[in-house]
Amino acid sequence: MNKQTLAKFYKVRNKSETVSENNVKLERFITNTYLQKYITPKKSVIEIGAGIRSYSPEIIKYAKNVLAVDLFQENLDRLNSKKINTLCADIANLKSVKSGSFDVVFVNGPMSHLFGDAERMKAIKESFRICKKGGVVLFNYLTNTPIIYRSGLIKGNIKTLKKYDKRTDKDIYATYFVNDFHKLVSKTKMKHVCDVSLDGLFEILKEYTNKVTKTEFNVIKQLQLQICERTDMIGCASHVISIYKK
């Protein structure tokens, strides 16, 4: 991960970021639904990557012990006013966080900025280290699907397909095939619980998703919730959460 490149990217994006688009709302709806399956008021929760789309302000409504972690302090400054505990740190080095501290470890974003198996394994191992025995780790990451279909086909940039699996830290986003992500995690002792498609085809086809009425969008939300764990839908998703138990 090139921290300087990432800092410049988010400095610009923070000013233009919006969560008003339906494809973003859908991702957040499915994510929040699954977070609430594992989080209860007595559970301790850490969100790593609590940047511009942090879930901590929503999590703290039903869990009192929440720690929001991000690589950049300016992202965390927005959360301080919401009385959320914060920590500026790199996911690959959470030395100030004790082992087995949290019931729920939500890795929201950092995996999509890590390039190379060595860098990724440091993050995975740290996430598992700070998780309590019997706790869960939820990894939110980007798949190769949007590169192939949105960038390659819909946006007419077929040349990107030549490098979809050769991305480096000169790029902003790192992407995965889900099975390859599992292979990385299989090097630990975590037990795979399930994969969740946060957006299915609705992100890829967001120009259409964002044109539907409120009533139609409610139908889409309920449909995606019903099919989000289907293996054929996982392969269509741009954003996936893979859940593991320690």
Q: What mean pLDDT is predicted for residues 76-102?
A: 91
Measured between alpha carbons, how far is 146 from 201 in angstroms, rounded to an integer? 10
In the prediction, which pLDDT does 165 show? 67
Quote the pTM value.
0.92
Measured between alpha carbons, how far is 218 from 55 in angstroms, rounded to an integer? 21
Is the pLDDT confidence value at 31 over 70? Answer: yes
Q: Give 87's strand partners.
A: 69
In the prediction, which pLDDT does 54 show? 93
Q: What mean pLDDT is predicted for residues 205-227?
A: 96
Q: What mean pLDDT is predicted for residues 98-117?
A: 95
pLDDT digits (tens, 9 = 90+) for 49-63: 998 889 999 999 999
pLDDT digits (tens, 9 = 90+) for 159-208: 877 766 666 767 788 899 999 999 999 999 999 999 999 999 999 999 99
